[in-house]
Amino acid sequence: MAKKKYYKKKSQSIFSFFKRVFLKHESDFHLFIIPIILLVIFLIISVVVTVVQKNVEASRIATENYALPVTSYPFLTTPITQPITAESVVIIDRDSKTVLFQKNSQVRFSMASTTKLMTALVAAEHFKPDDILTAYTSHVEGVNVGVEVGDKLYFKDALFALLLPSGNDIALMMAQNYPGGEEMFVRRMNQKAKDLHLVNTHFEDPAGLNDDGNYTTVGELAQLAIYFSNSPQVSVVTATKSTIISTVDGNKTFALNNLNRLLGFYGVTGIKTGHTEGAGDVLITSTTLNGYNYIIIVMRSQDRFFDTEVLLAALLNGVGIFTPRSFGN
């Protein structure tokens, strides 16, 4: 108890000491503390001003970005009511990537000869137009242009033979002339799919004959078709109705006709047909209507041309244009 009183008395004496010091030097203390207070206030104001300036600058930059021109995009004004047989469908504006219509867009289907889009892209990455390809195999399953073992074609001519009549013998010819042969060519096709972020797409052969190993979704096939359309070297080929090519020595000629019978109608400029028993009818169509570029795809269709015509008619007669408002308007 005595110890407690001692500490209480001690603390009171210390307090009394500081009180006497403060009262004695009160004027000096004011002279000392006021500048410190002013300095603290100045620092606080500086920090606030800096933060406000940063926020204003960020707001200005954001406003400028939002004020950039906004792209208009088309949309269907009328539902597609006419029945179509395709199990998977997509209509996409090629420029804005806006989907106007879709059906089972994430379901995997065999892609048949539309596989040859990737075949053409991979081959065009490696071969130059005047490179010479040699046929090592002839009489391949399905459609054949007619090259025999030992025949030689310029790559630029082989592209037409691949994409117009959809020559399976030409697809194999390209793959066999690739470094490492067909195995390395198909491996590169799958790597290219990964590069394009086509995670539900896989290739087993360059012609599209393997219904189990060659698959994609209509949504990813549309992405591939857009990429293909942006490559002038290959996309110009699918816009050709017919042509004649010859072997390098000129001893053989081949009359090539595009299988896409919609080419030239409804603004259609390509791209590729496909058909196997497992895939059914497949058709990738590029078209330009009323100033807008579209990709239309039907998969596992019973009549690819009829289904595509229904979709083309919908684009021709029932499309509106939407322009988003710019920020601040």
Sign of the Cα pseudo-torsion (206, 207, 213, 214, in order):
positive
Rounded to an integer, what is the distance from CA 87 to the centroid of its chain? 23
Q: Which of 88, 105, 110, 113 is catalytic?
A: 113
Percentages (nearest 5) of helix, strand, coil residues in the chain = 45, 20, 35
Do 182 and 206 form a contact (C-beta atoms < 8 A)?
Answer: yes
Do 132 and 248 form a contact (C-beta atoms < 8 A)?
Answer: yes
> What amino acid is encoded at 303 in this protein?
D
- The burial class, CB within 10 Å (0-12 / 13-18 / 19+), for 20 is exposed
Q: Which of 88, 105, 110, 166 is catalytic?
A: 166
Radius of gyration of the chain (CA): 36
Please indicate whether residue 116 is annotated as part of the active site. yes
Q: Which of 88, 105, 110, 116 is catalytic?
A: 116
What number of residues does the chain have?
329
Please indicate whether residue 326 is annotated as part of the active site. no
Do 217 and 103 form a contact (C-beta atoms < 8 A)?
Answer: no
Please indicate whether residue 96 is annotated as part of the active site. no
Place of tokens 């269907």: 76
Place of tokens 């684009």: 315
Do 112 and 274 form a contact (C-beta atoms < 8 A)?
Answer: yes
Rounded to an integer, what is the distance from CA 96 to the centroid of its chain? 11
Do 182 and 157 form a contact (C-beta atoms < 8 A)?
Answer: no
Residue 157, helix vs strand vs coil: helix
- Give CA–CA dist 60/54, Å, rounded: 10
Gap between the terminal Cα atoms of the chain: 80
Q: DSSP letters of 245-306?
A: EE-TTSS-EEEEE-S-TTTTSTTEEEEEEEEETTTEEEEEEEEEETTEEEEEEEEEES-HHH
Catalytic machinery residues:
113, 116, 166
